[in-house]
Amino acid sequence: MKIAVLIKQTPDTAELPKVSAEAVSTHNVQATMVINPWDEFAAEEAIQLAERFNAETVAISLGPAEALDGLKHALAMGVDAATLIDSGADPNAIDLSAAAKILAAAVQAEGDVDLVITGKQSVDGNSSAAQVGIARKLGVPLVTNVVKVVDIADGSATVERLADGIQETVQVALPAVLSVGKEINEPRYPNFMGIRRASRAQIPTRELDELGLGDLAPLTQWANIRKPESRRTQVQMIEGSSPADKAEKLVDALLAEKVI
Amino acid sequence: MSVLVWIEHIEGKPAASSLEVLGQARAIADGLQVPLYALVLGTDTGAETDSVAANVANYAPDAVLTLTSPELATYRLGVYAEALKAAIAAQDATVILTAATTQGRDVCAAAAFDLDAGLAPDVVDLRVEDGQFIAVRAIYSNNILADITFSGPRSFASVRPRAFPMPSPADNAAPITPLAFELPADVVTETVLESRVVGGGEISLTDARIIISGGRGVAHDPVRGFTLVEELAKTLDAAVGASRAAVDAGYVPYKHQVGQTGKTVRPDLYIAAGISGAIQHLAGMSGSKIIVAINQDASAPIFERAHYGIVGDLYEILPALTAAAAKRLG
Ligand SMILES: Cc1cc2nc3c(=O)[nH]c(=O)nc-3n(C[C@H](O)[C@H](O)[C@H](O)COP(=O)(O)OP(=O)(O)OC[C@H]3O[C@@H](n4cnc5c(N)ncnc54)[C@H](O)[C@@H]3O)c2cc1C
Ligand SMILES: Nc1ncnc2c1ncn2[C@@H]1O[C@H](COP(=O)(O)O)[C@@H](O)[C@H]1O
């Protein structure tokens, strides 16, 4: 069995508020880049499933050369191999539709992949759409927000998913795509041996035109990229002689704001 | 050409988040000068689909379309995406909208990818400008906004819950039109072996008008701390939220977590008790209309984002607030 895990390299979440509109427009975000936090759960699950069901694992990332670091993190955790798909000179030209086509082709290029595992969402793109796009382009079933892989046997996977207040046990025929939620596992920290192995690993890079893709023209355009309006920042501190006094003043203020 | 909104339903009622989308979709359809259709999917047995459709008919669509089949009895992405595509084809829908619940996001995206159409997930605003449909996305975890326009004949967007107000029902009802649905034989889909509602009766964080959240500040006595949070929540008909520190410490389950790796919420009122205001927490709640911080440390960063602040011990302030609210709200 072969498992592909999709890894995106994203800004450190502590630096997201500092990202400027101009940097996003010119695709020149200067931030400490790390493995997308949600993708650590995907990598961990791939490693655990490989141990449980005797599979080989490969991590795939679409991005610039710096995305190699995210792949190295996955290798250091224990993923067997990795491939980088070079996003090319103008990453802005890759919209959700193009990314889905590229990632689906990248999975196909790995040979007989039985299971594709993705994170729930990227902390920069925030779209939770790559998993859907890859499954639809590959023409295989998708289960999102998986919180437990119960079993993989006889060409199908049985999993539990949790979404919109409903917990389900779902069965899909393989190959299939699963996106995983945070409840699924506790991602490991890479150990020294893992880091050393990852630093020595040769990670092949594929160019977009090697994937034999057709039309990748974007279907959406972005304009007026901006920061959200900065809100009223002056806080009104409620003073009072006792907790009860403060509480009453706050309740009065909230009634005046018409929010209670 | 038309605007089509998929209406999700729970226990015989349309989901509030879907009706919010339908309310704004009326303005979009008027701006584009095309009809507006609401789509209800469900099983062909029992009265649920019909009663949901009758309810939705009062929210100003030009017609409610119902599409029923035994295959639609329980939600399955593979099947629901086919049903949405069937309705799109039947009405030549050009703007397709869903609520950005997990189901809504997944079904919207699946249909968009299948039809090779542009997709804007989890948008926070929708408008028509110079005859063009525009959707506004929040990216970089709510730190950047962008206007999305679409090339090609169809535009798909899922809309974040509470991005638009709940519309009021009208007296006159739109007609209800059943559409035929035949599940294509080659469809790939999942089999649901078991399904149960979890946390029934709780107000969901993403739909909540008011949220009371607790953080590591309850560490001294977490059981009492979260009991106080829950009591205030009950008095105000609010949902209970939490910081990651509170979740990681096991005080409350993960489903309550607000923030970067939890839920994004935008209630009218967000009360943070014993939460310091880390960037990753703010990423999930800074869109709230009014933010109140209760913290014993006057220099906690949460006060920089709050509209109202109380410096004090949450074990004293929370019960006092519950009492004051109960007194004033009767
Ligand atoms: C990748 C990543 C993702 C993350 N995702 C999230 C997320 O989704 N959500 C999230 O919340 N965090 C998230 N975090 C963690 C975040 O950085 C903070 O660690 C966390 O929000 C802190 O929680 P807290 O405010 O409850 O705890 P603390 O920062 O410890 O603050 C506790 C506060 O309580 C106050 N206090 C103590 N006792 C009392 C008392 N008796 N009365 C009143 N006040 C009191 C203290 O003054 C202090 O300000 C994430 C971090 C990373 C790196
Ligand atoms: N450029 C990328 N390279 C590899 N995986 C990706 C990429 N973009 C998205 N993914 C995967 O898809 C998931 C959802 O991402 P997104 O649709 O951007 O929210 C992520 O958690 C990743 O697992």
Distance from CA of A17 to the nearest CA of B (A): 6
CB within 8 Å: B292 and A24: no
Question: Which among B116, B191, B289 is the nearest to A97, CB-wise?
Answer: B116
Q: State the CB neighbour count (10 A cutoff) for residue B23.
A: 17
Shortest CA distance from A134: residue in chain B: B113
Question: What pTM does this model have?
Answer: 0.94
CB within 8 Å: A132 and B102: no
Residue in A132, A158, A216, A245 to test binding to B, most B beta-carbons within 10 Å: A132
Distance from CA of B292 to the nearest CA of A (A): 9
CB within 8 Å: A132 and B110: yes
With a pLDDT cut of 90, the percent of chain B lying above it is: 91
- The atom number, within ligand 2, closest to the CA of A126 reads 19
Q: What is the pLDDT of residue A154?
A: 96
* Element at B102 (helix H, strand E): helix B102-114
| Separation CA B93–CA B63 (nearest Å) | 13
Q: What is the pLDDT of residue B201?
A: 67
- Cβ–Cβ contact A255 with B under 8 A: yes
* Position B65 pLDDT exceeds 90: yes
Q: What is the pLDDT of residue B46?
A: 75
Residues of B with CB below 8 A from A231's CB? 286, 305
| Separation CA A69–CA A258 (nearest Å) | 49
Q: Which of B236, B238, B229, B227 is nearest to B204 (CA)?
A: B238
pLDDT digits (tens, 9 = 90+) for A59-104: 999 999 999 999 999 999 999 999 999 998 777 789 999 999 999 9
Residues of A with CB below 8 A from B193's CB? 158, 168-171
* Element at B63 (helix H, strand E): strand B63-68
For B127-184, what is the HEC assignment?
EEECCEEEEEEEECCCCEEEEEEECCCCEEEEECCCCCCCCCCCCCCCCEEEECCCCC
- Cβ–Cβ contact A236 with B under 8 A: yes
ipTM for this model: 0.95
Mean pLDDT (chain B) is 96
The Å distance, Cα A116 to ligand 2 centre, comes to 12
- The atom number, within ligand 1, closest to the CA of B262 reads 8
Q: What is the pLDDT of residue B326?
A: 97
Mean pLDDT (chain A) is 95
DSSP state of B36: E
Residues 6+ away with beta carbon under 8 Å from A232: B307
Q: What is the pLDDT of residue A90?
A: 76
Q: How many helical (H) and strand (E) elements, i.e. helices and strands, does chain B have? A: 9, 17
Confidence of residue B188 (pLDDT cuts 50, 70, 90): confident
pLDDT digits (tens, 9 = 90+) for A161-190: 999 889 999 999 999 999 999 999 999 999
pLDDT digits (tens, 9 = 90+) for B232-261: 999 999 999 999 999 999 999 999 999 999
CB within 8 Å: B303 and A235: yes
| Separation CA B83–CA B71 (nearest Å) | 10
pLDDT (mean) for B226-235: 98
| Separation CA A257–CA B20 (nearest Å) | 22
CB within 8 Å: A254 and B290: yes
Find the length of chain A.
260
pLDDT (mean) for A193-221: 94
Q: What is the pLDDT of residue A233?
A: 67
